[in-house]
Amino acid sequence: MARRQTIKQQIGAFLSAIKIDKIWQKLIATGPLVISGIKKGLNWVIKTLKSLSTYLWSNKILTFVLGLLLIFSGLTLAAFVPSTHIFESNLTVEEMSFTYAGKEPKLFLDTVRGIKSLEIEGQQTLTFTGKIQSKSTPALNQLTILEIEPIDSTSKWSIAPANLKQSSELEFTELRLQPDTKVNNLSYDTYRNQLAFSLTPVKKPTNTNILQLNLGNQPLKVSLEGYQLKNVKLPIDSEKQRQLEFILIPNNQELRLNLADPVTIYLQPPAPKNNESKQWFRGKIEVKNVQFQRLDRTGSNQDDNLPISTILKGEVHMAEQKKEIKRNQFLMVEEPGIKLIRYLNIVPQEGLEVRISGKSKLIQIGLDKEFPVSRIQASWLDGVLSGDAIIALISFCAASFTYLLSFIINEISKSTSSNP
């Protein structure tokens, strides 16, 4: 109670010090004056508008000229004020990242036959069925089902034909993306002929990315690192190494993987021939947060990381304007930004070819994001008329504006002189 009384006394002393009562009285006293001033101002505006409307109604020619003046002014303004337009771009890139923005599962990779190897890093539960052969771990030779669990997020496994001289029957059947899945660091290594990307799904129990494989009938070499076996006990030395290799002769060709956790996939497809790779990626992917850059990590401090553009070449079109994008230049698109990947393909000896589209008011290009050297910005009229038509319209509006303005001044002068 004593402390509460002390606080009340301190508040009272503070209010007394700032003389709150006197300030309140002044506010009450000035309130009617402010309200009166606002009323007078509104009355003056209403009276002026009535007088102006009466004058214009009596002088219809002047009213018509003023209307034309407003129209020409509006057209001139529409030729300069930036507006949102649809754009499209065709790029060749080393690497890209995006988030799938569709509302339904989307087929991303489809039917890659004859793959040479597949490696997946991340927490992935596996079950293999068939004949298992292992020289280093004879305990596996008695099994027909092998259940495998990851130890942590650094666990990884790979699968490839046991005999590399034979044509591979291993097939990447399909990969479907769930909404809001992040596809990071999608790249194609032209030297190793390796496609790589990371998937970061949204955590939903019944909503996971699906990867399907066709293992074929030939023997496959399976390598594990950072995994543990559920249905067999390995020697202590093997468990410490956490590495295991064996030959699998599958009796079930279909292998379905639920990618509920973040994973990184390394896929070595056959060398693209006769534009076969055009069928691997499915187009018309709704996207957001698209990036054509990677971070050059130079130290433990994040401020030391430098963004590096992964664009090799390309061009962008918007409102009949076209700009070339050169190697290592950034493509900066103002929101709403890139909304659709229309086409994705592997270009041998170069990288990934990607065609994108979206909407924007401003597109900038440059080696440094802070100092762009080229831009595309278009007005509302650019989406309706051609460039030559806009120039002609602006010239006509400027000449008409000058003539109409002089006409209005003369009319007002005549009216003033006739009514002293």
H, E, C per residue of the chain: CHHHHHHHHHHHHHHHHCCHHHHHHHHHHHHHHHHHHHHHHHHHHHHHHHHHHHHHHHCHHHHHHHHHHHHHHHHHHHCCCECCEEEEEEEEECEEEEEECCCCCEEEEEEECCCCEEEEEECCCEEEEEEEECCCCHHHHHCCEEEEEECCCCCEEEEEECCCCCCCCCEEEEEEECCCCEEEEEEEECCCCEEEEEEECCCCCCCCEEEEEECCCCCEEEEEECEEECCCCCCHHHHHHCEEEEEEEECCCEEEEEECCCEEEEEECCCCCCCHHHHCECCCEEEEEEECEEEECCCCCHHHCEEEECEEEEEEEECCEEEEECCCCEEEECCCEEEEEEEEEEECCCEEEEEEEEEECEEEEECCCCCCCEEEECECHHHCCCHHHHHHHHHHHHHHHHHHHHHHHHHHHHHHHHCC
Query: Is 357 or 66 the better-scoring residue by pLDDT?
Result: 357
Model confidence, pTM: 0.75
What are the tens digits of pLDDT across the range 117-166?
A: 999 998 888 888 889 888 878 888 888 888 888 888 888 999 999 887 78
State the chain's maximal CA–CA distance in angstroms: 117
What are the tens digits of pLDDT across the range 261-286?
A: 899 999 998 877 766 777 888 889 99
Give the range among 182-191, 359-368, 370-379, 403-412 with minimum mean pLDDT: 403-412
Percent of the residues in the chain that have a pLDDT greater than 90, as a whole number: 30
Average model confidence (pLDDT) across the chain: 79
Q: What span, in angstroms and rounded, lies between the C-alpha atoms of 23 and 419? A: 52
Check residue 240 and give its pLDDT: 42
The band of 328, judged by pLDDT with boundaries at 50, 70 and 90, is: very high
Cα four-point dihedral sign 160, 163, 164, 166: negative
What are the tens digits of pLDDT across the range 24-56?
A: 566 666 666 667 667 667 666 666 656 556 655
